[in-house]
Amino acid sequence: MPTFVLWAKAELEGLSEFWAPDDHCWVLDVKQGGGAEERKGVVIDPDDWVELTNTKDAKANFVMKFDKGDKQQSYCTVTQIKGLTRHQTADDTGMVPLIAFECRGLEPVKWTPTGPYCAKAGSGTTWEDVDIRTDDWCEYDEKGDAPVSVGKDIKYEFRLHR
């Protein structure tokens, strides 16, 4: 099953880490595998499990059919890859592998960062409500006596993982 890894780089100021919580709902545009049809704004919830038809106990986080005549279900499961996917840190200069999606019959083509995300300052102060849907997120770290921020325009790309 093809696995697509979301590599991303957020602009951080005064923060030591930035990440999506384990229960984060990912908003993606997906394309039909081997086809041209797209679905925009698909929400993939890692806590939602849908049983796949014609399988024994197989489940996925998101299941769909691209057209009514489609006999096969397309599906996607959110996953972490041990030793690869991780949080972005202040030391990162390039894109970081944040999360992976195991897909059958579809592939992710666009990510819409919504939040809430999590961020941690060097002082240890942590925020779990980082929302970058419409604007940069800015706060003040009282413990570290410094402003902190996450830019809303996150650079990203999907890479096929082998």
Q: pLDDT by residue (tens digit) across 73-108?
A: 999 999 999 999 999 999 999 999 999 999 999 999
**pLDDT reading at 69 higher than 70:** no
Write down the pTM of the prediction. Answer: 0.93
Identify the residue with better confidence: 110 or 53: 110
Report the pLDDT value the prediction gives residue 115, as an integer from 0 to 100: 85
Average pLDDT of the chain is 94
In 3D space, the residue among 20, 12, 3, 33 whose CA is nearest the CA of residue 105 turns out to be 33
Report the pLDDT value the prediction gives residue 56, as an integer from 0 to 100: 82
Percent of the chain at pLDDT above 70?
Answer: 99
Outline where DSSP puts E strands in 36-116: 38-44, 50-51, 59-60, 62-64, 74-79, 88-89, 96-104, 106-111
